[in-house]
Structure 1
Amino acid sequence: MRLFVGDDWAEDHHDVEVMDSAGRRLAKARVPEGVAGMAKLHAIVGDLVGDDADEADEAEILVGIETDRGPWVAALIAAGYTVLAVNPLQASRFRDRLGFSGAKSDAGDAHVLADMVRTHAHELRPVAGDSARAEAIKVVARTHKTMIWERTRHTQRLRHALGDYFPAALVAFDDLDAADTLELLAKAPTPAQAARLTIAQISAALKRARRRDIPAKAAAIQTTLRSEQLGQPEVVAEAYAASVQALLAVLGVLNTQIKTLQGQVEAHFGQHPAAEIILSQPGLGTILGARVLAEFGDDPTRYASAKARKNYAGTSPITRASGKKKVVLARFVHNDRLIDALTTQAFSALQWSPGARAYYDRQRARGVGHSPALRQLANRLVGILHGCLKTGTLYDEATAWPQLTEKAAA
């Protein structure tokens, strides 16, 4: 017996519909989020399965839902249901197949998901059974990266504000989110106050930030801050200074939390069994390796082949062919966090792996641009990582790039 459940989730409730193999609606309901809602869903399914123990054991419950994480999904998996993660874009396109009116409702979406699971379960991706350790790494690694992105956004806001009333600061300070810059700008947020900073004050901030060549840098900063520059009226400058001090406070907190989370990422990643294999890959350190593991997951059955892993990563190209026209394009729908980590790995591997460097140079010699060549290198590195994880072996330069290694030796 097979039952197909469509689960359209919201923040505080779920609209569910249960369908049989023939497409008949057996039950529909709105259940609350949490334990009470899960109990009600189990009761609905239990009534449909029946009281026969053998029949209950043989029953297969497939659930389609537009997410692959959270306590609700974990509870469904723990209950023995097969949970199929449906991309919202897939659900939207499938809804268009059932009607053209454009009507949409939560109950209707639950029906679409149930019917989609019934007819296309073989093409949908089951939620991966990642380990608790991998889930913990994902939580801290994603938060760490989010904090870095937030720091970049606030740094850009600080740059724009300084450019509007204090352009000399942009010349004096190369790194706006550095500790010495934050300290000096907090102490002297207006051009007039900055011009009164002494060499001793500047040197002390540079020393606390562990800068080198402090006397020369302090003198250069002071000269720049005291140089002539275009400015704003005093009252406007003071208003900008208040805004800048707020941004400086946020950046200071972000710097502290990024450092704290980095320690958490390193601690969790160091305890994972696959950490040694991932760290053996060229271009991957502890933080970058943790991000790659977090986004790929560690379920050994999730990727049937290296091609499947490359497709999920978004590094492999897509082909559009119609008649005599054939175009090969990059994938623009992908996991942003994963593609960011893999591209960074590829760029770093150019320095540490002769094989990766030779592969990249060969693409460039064919007339391929920097970004496409880097993406192709990242695609190749994903395949190498898949092979290492599948066989449980560490990265080996000669094995990874046999033709390029032999050519270099010759």
Structure 2
Amino acid sequence: MSTTSELTASRWAGIDAGKEHHWVCVIDDTGQTVWSSKVLNDETAILDAISTVLGSGGEVTWGIDITGTASGLLLALLAAHGQRVFYVPGRTVNRMAGAYRGEAKTDARDAYVIAETIRHRQDLSLVDVPATVVAELRLLVGHRTDLVADRVRMLNRLRDVLTGYFPGLERAFDLSNHKGALILLTGYQTPDALRRLGRTRLAGWLTKRKVRAAGDVAATAIAAAEGQHTAIPGEKTAGSIVAELAQALLDLDERIGKIDRQVTEAFRGHPQAEIIESMPGIGPILGAELIVAAGDIGSYADAGRLASAAGLVPVPRDSGRRTGNMHRPRRYSRKLRRVFYLSAQSAIIRPGPNRDYYLKKRAAGCKHVQALLALARRRVDVLWALLRDNRTFTIDSPTKTAIAA
């Protein structure tokens, strides 16, 4: 650890964030280290470090390589002190590290490289330290993402086991979107059990459990059972596993439904929620994901910056005589791109300007994904303008609306 009794007026503080502790390195305008120390991820220790760095007055610019849960307390305390913090991606740190002496990778060296990066570069994004609503959305959306991933894994396992001994029933229902089929599997999983029960009694059993179109579900299941009279070795054990997985999926669906209601309530407490949700194809869930992925959209200088952050602006990769070679950028937010892509996909279902633009691109020779990405890019412009002007989406242009009024 290197220290100095007097910090300079213009300083840059690099933070190599970690779960148990952070390393903070402060440099002056010549790139010399004036303070460098390990700081425990503890409120008292962090406050002491901030007090030391800010002790001599003057402006300090902070940079950090992680903006997730590990740095949540640190970022909140920096925000409380009115400090500006820039995000320095890990890939950028690794690239910049090659420009400095030494090959050893230590927390202190990484913190120094982060400080040097924010001293030299002006294109880094400010960290949007979340307010209460955004922090709540971030937690809820993260938890929902984990639950959905668990559901996909569990559903794939159920399909795999069911196909192994009763492929006809697996083909008969879309298990990913058929609650009635999952309820059926909690009670009856084998062809023999279904045949012995019969269509009428199965329909009654399903009706008692409030399955929609119980008669149709029963008829489909019995037809599948009539198509297979061969018992597969291990069928009974496989059936018990299918019953357990089906019940777990039903329970998980209830948990996801509860989270969805919480996300919707929290999202609609955001001041820009009405504007975001007015865009065709964006509901409260995607809207919440947008806020979490983009942060403060007002911090983007223009729509192009927002589109670039979402990976919707191609960049050239020319070489020698090869020019005009455009590719998707390597650095962009996958989550933000997913929001705009899925919202564009939803928007083309119904007639309107979104579908018209998509069909125009298809007619021009674009493939499905290319046309969707072009629409997503266009929608970024629209959404950014709506948020800038603080107005909701309408098919008519603002000029026409004003004239009509």
User: What's the TM-score, normalizing by structure 2?
Assistant: 0.87
Q: Which residue of 1 aligns with 2:173?
A: 173
Residues 82/237 of structure 1: CA separation in 2 closer, same or farther (3 Å cut): same
1:315 aligns with 2:312: yes
Cα separation, partners in 2 of 1:31 and 1:204, compared to 1, 3 Å = same
Please point out which of 70, 74, 84 is paired with 2:86. Answer: 84
Return the offset for 1:111.
1.8
Using CA pairs under 8 Å that are at least 6 residues apart, name the structure with larger relative contact order, 1 or 2. Answer: 1
For 2:189 and 2:398, the matched residues in 1 are separated by 53
Aligned position for 2:196: 196
The corresponding residue for 2:100 is: 98
How many Å apart are 1:100 and its aligned residue? 7.3
1:391 to 2:389 alignment = yes
What are the ranges of 5 or more consecutive residues in structure 2 without an aligned counterpart? Answer: 1-8, 401-405
The answer to whether the aligner puts 1:147 opposite 2:151 as a matched pair is: no
CA distance in 2, matches of 1:352, 1:399: 19
Q: CA deviation at 1:88?
A: 0.9
Structure-1-length-normalised TM-score: 0.86
Q: Give me the CA root mean square deviation.
A: 2.5
Give yes or no for the alignment of 1:265 onto 2:257: no
Give percent identity, aligned residues only: 28
2:300 aligns with one of 293, 303, 310: 303
Structure 1 unaligned regions, length at least 5: 51-55, 403-410
2:32 to 12, 24, 39: 24
Contact 1:184 1:202 in 2 (8 A): no
| Offset, 1:21 | 1.2
1-structure distance, mates of 2:80, 2:207:
54
Alignment of 1:2-401 (within 5 A): 2-46=10-54, 49-50=55-56, 56=57, 59-69=58-68, 70-99=72-101, 101=103, 103-120=104-121, 122-176=122-176, 178-199=178-199, 200-205=201-206, 208-212=209-213, 214-228=214-228, 232-233=232-233, 236-298=234-296, 300=298, 302-325=299-322, 326-331=324-329, 333-352=331-350, 354-399=352-397
Aligned pair count reads 387
Contact between 1:63 and 1:82, CA under 8 Å: does it hold in 2? yes
Q: 2:284 corresponds to which letter in structure 1? A: T
Query: Hey, what's the Cα distance between the residues in 2 that align with 1:100 and 1:195?
Result: 74
SS in 2 for 1:29: strand
**Cα 1:100/1:38, change in 2 over 3 Å:** closer
SS class of match (1:22)? coil
- C-alpha distance after superposition, 1:187-244 (max 9, x if no partner): 12344434434332344326745423x32432221121232266531xx333433433
* 8 Å Cα contact 1:137/1:269 also seen in 2: yes
Q: Which residue identity does 1:329 align to in structure 2?
A: H
Alpha-carbon distance between aligned partners in 2 of 1:294 and 1:194, rounded to the nearest angstrom: 47
Query: How far apart, in 2, do the equivalents of 1:312 and 1:331 lie?
Result: 9
Cα deviations across residues 316-353 of structure 1 (Å, max 9, x unaligned)?
A: 22222344322122346433333222212112222335
Say which SS state the counterpart of residue 382 (structure 2) adopts: helix
In structure 1, the partner of 2:6 is none
Separation of aligned partners in 1, 2:262 and 2:156: 27
Residues 192/107 of structure 1: CA separation in 2 closer, same or farther (3 Å cut): farther
Q: Distance in 1 between matches of 2:216 and 2:273?
A: 43
Deviation at 1:127, TM superposition (A): 0.6
